Amino acid sequence: MSDVTATTTAKDKRVRFDIKTAGPAIALLLLCIIGFLLNPAFLSEGNLTNLLTRSAFIGIIAVGATFVITAGGIDLSVGSMAAAIAGVMIIIMNSAMETLGPGLATVLLGCGCSILLGLGAGWINGVLTTKGKIEAFIVTLGTMGIYRSLVTYFADGGTLSLDFAIRGVYRPVYYGSVFGLPAPVWVFIVVSICGWLLMNRTAFGRYCTAIGSNESVAKYSAIKVDRIKTMTYVIQGLCVSLATVIYVPRLGSASASTGVMWELEAIAAVIIGGTVLKGGYGRIGGTILGALILTTIGNILNFTDLISNYLNGTMQGLIIIIAVWLQRGDWGKAKANKS
C-alpha cells in the first residue's frame, strides 16, 4: 500500500475509491487467510459449501434491506416476519396435506403462500411509513413485535412442526445440490444478481438512491416517492419470504426463537458492505460480502479454540464498528487536505 503516496493526485483519488469499495472484499480475503492459518480444514470444500449455505438466509434478506436502507428507510421487522411466515407456512402445509397429500403440490402451495405473505407484510410496512407518515423505525419496531407474538400465538408458546411426510418432499430445497452447489446458494446467487441489476442498472435503483440522498429533490424531480419507498419494503418482504422458503426445510419447524436477531445481522451486512445507513448510497455487492463476512467470523470461531465461540457477537460487533470507521474516509481526506 506504500506506493499509493507516490502516485499522482488523480490516480490517488481512484486508488482511494477502490480501497473504499474493495474494503469488504479485502476483509473477507483476510478472514479466509486467518481461517486457513488457524485450521486448514477451513478451506475444505465441505466447509465452504456449509459457509455459503449458512450465509444464504442473512444474505438474501440483506439484499432486500439494501434497498430499504438506500432509500432512507429501515426495516427492523424482518426476523419476526420470517418467523411468522415460517409458522403460517407450516400450518398451511400441514392442513393442506389432508386434501393434497404429502406431495409437491402441498410444498408449492406453502411456498406460494410464503411469497404472498412476504409481499403483503412488506407492503404493510411500506404503506404505514409512506401513507401513514410514521417513521420507518417506529413502524417496523411495531410490526416486529406483532409478527413475533403471532408466531408464538400460532405455536401456542411452543413449536410448530412440519409433518414428517412433507419434510421428505421439501428437504432437498435446503439439503439438495444442483451442479455441485446447495440449493440455498443458488437462490442467494439469483437474488444477488437480480438485486444488483435492479440497484445499478434500472431507474428504480436510481430513484432509491435519489430518495435516500434527498427526498425533497426526489419529489421535485417527478419521482413518485411514496410508491418507490413502498416498493423497497415489498422487495424486502419478498426477500424475507424467499429466505423463509429455504429455511423451513432445514429444521422443519418454527417457534418464537426463529429468526431472532436476523434484522440486526441483515442491517450489519448492509453496513459492512458500504451502504450508508442514512441512505443515498447503496451497494448490493458489498452487502453480499458483508453477509459472507458475518458468517465467516462465526465459522472461524467454530474452528478454533483461540477465542470462545460465545464471543461471536463481540467479533461481529467489532467488525461492524471497524468497517464503518474505515469507510468514513476522513483519514484519507485529512491527508489530502494537508498537502
Give 83's Cβ-side CA count (13 Å radius). 27
- Least gap, CB of 206 to other proteins (angstroms): 6
Q: Report how many helices (DSSP H) and strands (DSSP E) the chain contains, helices first.
A: 15, 4
174 or 207: whose CB is closer to other proteins? Answer: 207
- Least gap, CB of 195 to other proteins (angstroms): 14
Burial of 98 (0-12, 13-18, 19+ CB in 10 A): exposed
CA gyration radius for the chain? 21
Q: Are 118 and 85 in contact (CB under 8 A)?
A: yes
CA distance 109 to 96: 8
33 or 193: whose CB is closer to other proteins? Answer: 193
136 or 210: whose CB is closer to other proteins? Answer: 210
CA distance 191 to 64: 9
Sequence-distant (6+) residues with CB within 8 A of 288 are 59, 62, 63, 188, 192, 273
200: number of Cβ within 10 Å: 14
CA distance 326 to 320: 10
CA distance 117 to 121: 6
39 or 213: whose CB is closer to other proteins? Answer: 213
Residue ranges that bind other proteins, judged by CB under 8 A: 8-10, 13, 197, 201-203, 206-207, 209-210, 213-214, 216-224, 280-281, 336-337
For 171-222, the DSSP string reads THHHH-EETTEEHHHHHHHHHHHHHHHHHHHSHHHHHHHHHHH-HHHHHHTT
234 or 246: whose CB is closer to other proteins? Answer: 234
321 or 336: whose CB is closer to other proteins? Answer: 336
- Least gap, CB of 197 to other proteins (angstroms): 7
2 or 216: whose CB is closer to other proteins? Answer: 216
CA distance 60 to 65: 9
47 or 214: whose CB is closer to other proteins? Answer: 214
